[in-house]
Amino acid sequence: MSNAGFKQAIWYLLPALVVMAVFTYYPLGNAIVQSFNRNRSPDNYELSLKTYEYLINDRDFKVALRNTFLYTAVVTPVSIAISILIASMLVSIQRLRTFFQTIFFIPYVTSAVAVAFTWAFLFNTDRGLVNLFLGNLFHLPKIRWLTDPNVANYTVIIFGIWRSLAFNILILTTGMLSVDPQYYKAAQVDGASATTAFVRITLPLISPVIAYLFTIGMINAFKVFNEVYTLIGNLSRSVSAHTLVVYIFDAVWRARDYSLASAASVVLLLVVLVLTAFSRWVSSKTNFYG
């Protein structure tokens, strides 16, 4: 770019750069600095690795890290798989497609907190519809969905899958509709059944979309907070179902340990960076159009 062009462009970019500097890069840099602070309070700075030492030995942090990985490893692929099924059904209907698309998209635009209250009621041990349903239909014993430390994890995962369906379905429907219908005509002439056409034509052609959803899904899953905190945060003070961001939240607002929260944030940042780089590498390998 010419010098004059740069000078002109910088003025247009400046507002966005200022906002990002103030609200993203300064806090990020500050968090990295604080993570190396020996003391809990930012006012009292002493450089050391003590916080990281504490972090890697902390049982709660390990649980949170494990939960986050489990959540991501289950929610992302399961949600995408279910979304592919629903999206493929959506695109195969002609009438009322927009109507159903809207229905499926509504969870995305509703607040996680509001929805979580509804789910908290559904999963209530004594009065919840889920237990009522399972008890009456399959005579299952009551499950303590939200309060049993061994179950709460999976309750959060089920909720997380449901939450992420909406966005995935929307993107996948759009992706599937953008496949040139000519390919399906060719597949018909070539004697391909609907299933064959779906597996051997639709899926490969929307694979860039799926790769994108994996990246976004993993990043979002790693940052999961609302779903966990609103669903079980108040009921189960046990940390058994906590995730990384909940751990960070608690470090700040319960323990008032800014150094610990910063160190955990840096770990989260590193994990997300590695995963993003990895999924970008994978999607560059699965480029079918080369």
Residues lying near other proteins in the complex (CB under 8 A): 180, 182-183, 185-193, 196, 200-201, 204-205, 207, 288-290
249 to each of 114, 122, 257, how far by Cα in Å? 20, 26, 10
Shortest Å distance, C-beta 283 to other proteins: 14
Of the pair 234, 286, the CB lying nearest other proteins is at 286
Q: Residue 230 corresponds to which tokens in the numbers above?
A: 């609103």
Of the pair 7, 185, the CB lying nearest other proteins is at 185
Shortest Å distance, C-beta 210 to other proteins: 13
Query: Do residues 72 and 271 lie in contact, with contact meaning Cβ atoms separated by under 8 Å?
Result: no
Of the pair 15, 181, the CB lying nearest other proteins is at 181
Shortest Å distance, C-beta 182 to other proteins: 4
Shortest Å distance, C-beta 187 to other proteins: 8
268 to each of 24, 202, 211, 247, 272, how far by Cα in Å? 15, 35, 21, 11, 6
* Segments in 21-58 forming alpha helices (H): 26-35, 50-57
Of the pair 200, 280, the CB lying nearest other proteins is at 200
Of the pair 3, 195, the CB lying nearest other proteins is at 195
Query: Do residues 108 and 166 lie in contact, with contact meaning Cβ atoms separated by under 8 Å?
Result: yes
- SS3 for 259? helix
DSSP 95: T
Say which residues have a Cβ less than 8 Å from residue 193's Cβ, sequence separation at least 6.
none
Of the pair 132, 192, the CB lying nearest other proteins is at 192
Query: Do residues 170 and 101 lie in contact, with contact meaning Cβ atoms separated by under 8 Å?
Result: yes
Shortest Å distance, C-beta 280 to other proteins: 19
Give the residue carrying structure tokens 């052609």.
205
Shortest Å distance, C-beta 96 to other proteins: 18
